[in-house]
Amino acid sequence: MMKKFISTEDIYKIIAKILKTTPAKIIKTDKLNLIETWDSLAQLDILSALDAKLGNQLSNLNDIASITSVKKLIRIFKKKSLIK
Amino acid sequence: MIGSKISGIEYYLPKKKENNIQLKKNNPKWDIDRIFEKTGINNRYISSENETTIDLAEKSIKKLIKKFPKVKIDFLILVTQTSPYRIPTAACILQERLKFSKNIIAFDINLGCSGFIYALRVATAFIESKQAKNGLIVCADTYTKLISKNNAQCRPIFSDAAAATLISVSKQNKIGPFELGTDGSGYNALELPQGKNEVVMNGSKVLTFAMSIVPLNVSILLKKIKSKVNKIDMFIFHQASKFIIDNINRKLSIPQKKTFENLSKVGNTISASIPIALKDACKKNIKNNHKVIIAGYGVGLSWGSALIKWEKIK
């Protein structure tokens, strides 16, 4: 199966859609838990949506479960060569 | 060759129910619609103050053995994490209450949501090694005694229940093979911390664990039996939450018609959830000779899956 990638723009778009806000606000705030609409259920939605976008490649990334900083998330994705 | 089969399943649910309206009353700030959307659970069963795990287990076994009056029970495996006794083994108390023979093999297995699969592996080993012909697995827990009404992570999910399963010797083997696993590095994803009386769950950790391990575990089992998702008639997963089951189905590309959920009705009943789901599913969804894959996963972290060639049960 072909490896799927994600762009940083898509990461912000996906998270913004789930948190019912704009990518600009996510970029500015960075820490998702500081956004009013974020909670533990939203975190689950974010993980699931990113995994679906990446064609199930988040399988072994247990280290991202509790990450609420998008910059940190992108750093991990870059290390795993998942960013376009 | 000596094999094993499931001959019967019965379950018992406590009388007291807690639905989402009552949950909202106790927690006015909770977004119940959103919780329901994620958990798929509308009802939880709550054991009464004086009703223990042993009581629930006893009731489920009595319901089951009534259907098999002539069967001699050679072993009794109680799967529980909420025994009212740290000492002695609760299965011994059940032996006495049920007046089972003193020649019975009786012991507890301290596992949660993977417990039924592990117990099934032990039960089939007893039968295959000719140590037993018939035995009971009873999965029973009363987690709600360890979850306060405002525990947002756990209260909407967990439910008390007991399920008794009769495993019998069979000319054709109907149970197995198995794939089992453990990863203690995730022990704190769901725990009752030492000296505390409140279960703590990290929902994100449990989700990423389930999303990563269960599809892989099931894929290994499918490879072992030289089969594919489209050759299996039904997948019965531990009823953790709708969100987790949906994600596992998505990752394994399992069509909805091949999965079963009874979460809304009974909630997450820990190790009892698979036998309860099997019992409910066999009324309509599972037919004779169906190939069924069951998979349990959770606290530990611990997981396991098995193939069952279904034969009509009592």
Residue B147 has pLDDT above 90, yes or no: yes
Min Cα separation B153/chain A (Å): 9
Does A48 sit within 8 Å of B207, measured CB to CB? yes
Is B113 part of the annotated catalytic residue set? Answer: yes
What pTM did the predictor assign? 0.91
Residue B1 has pLDDT above 80, yes or no: no
pLDDT at res. A61: 58
Q: Which residues of B64-101 are buried (b: 16+ CB within 10 A; e: fewer)?
A: bbeebeebebbbbbbbbbbbeeeeeebbbbbbeebebe
DSSP reduced 3-state for B137: strand
The answer, for A7 touching chain B at a CB cutoff of 8 Å, is: no
Is B139 part of the annotated catalytic residue set? Answer: no
Look at chain A and count its residues: 84
DSSP reduced 3-state for A78: helix
Is B290 part of the annotated catalytic residue set? Answer: no
- For B253, the closest chain A residue by CA position comes to A56
B247 contacts B270 by C-beta, under 8 angstroms: no
B194 contacts B79 by C-beta, under 8 angstroms: no
Q: What is the ipTM of this complex?
A: 0.73
Handedness of CA B195, B197, B202, B208 (dihedral sign): positive
A57 pLDDT tier (thresholds 50, 70, 90): confident
A73: which chain B residues are within 8 Å (Cβ-Cβ)? none
Catalytic residue among B113, B139, B154, B282: B113
Does B250 sit within 8 Å of A52, measured CB to CB? yes
Residue B180 has pLDDT above 90, yes or no: yes
The answer, for A40 touching chain B at a CB cutoff of 8 Å, is: yes
The answer, for A60 touching chain B at a CB cutoff of 8 Å, is: yes
Nearest by CB: A40 against B186, B203, B216: B203
Report the percentage of chain A scoring pLDDT > 90. 38
Q: What is the CA radius of gyration of chain A?
A: 12
Report which DSSP code applies to B163. Answer: E
First to last CA, chain A: 17
Nearest by CB: B38 against A41, A60, A65: A41
Q: Which of B134, B65, B136, B84 is nearest to B106 (CA)?
A: B136
Question: What's the whole-number mean pLDDT along residues B276-292?
Answer: 94
Q: Which of B127, B132, B162 is nearest to B72 (CA)?
A: B132
Q: What are the strands of the beta sheet with B302-309, ordered from one edge?
A: B175-182, B302-309, B291-298, B234-237
Per the model's pLDDT, the better-predicted residue between B97 and A38 turns out to be B97
Nearest by CB: B207 against A44, A59, A60: A44
Q: Which of A46, A62, A76 to mutate to test the interface with B (most CBs of B within 10 A)?
A: A62
B51 pLDDT tier (thresholds 50, 70, 90): very high
DSSP reduced 3-state for B134: strand
Does B34 sit within 8 Å of A48, measured CB to CB? no
Calculate the alpha carbon distances from B248 to B258, B297, B313 in Å: 13, 11, 28
Does A59 sit within 8 Å of B212, measured CB to CB? yes
CA distance linking residue B72 with residue B99, whole number of Å: 12
Q: Which of A4, A33, A39, A48 to mutate to test the interface with B (most CBs of B within 10 A)?
A: A48
pLDDT tens, position by position, B2-49? 999 999 999 999 999 999 999 999 999 998 998 898 899 999 999 999
Calculate the alpha carbon distances from A15 to A45, A73, B206 in Å: 9, 12, 20
Average pLDDT for chain B:
95
CA distance linking residue A15 with residue A21, whole number of Å: 8
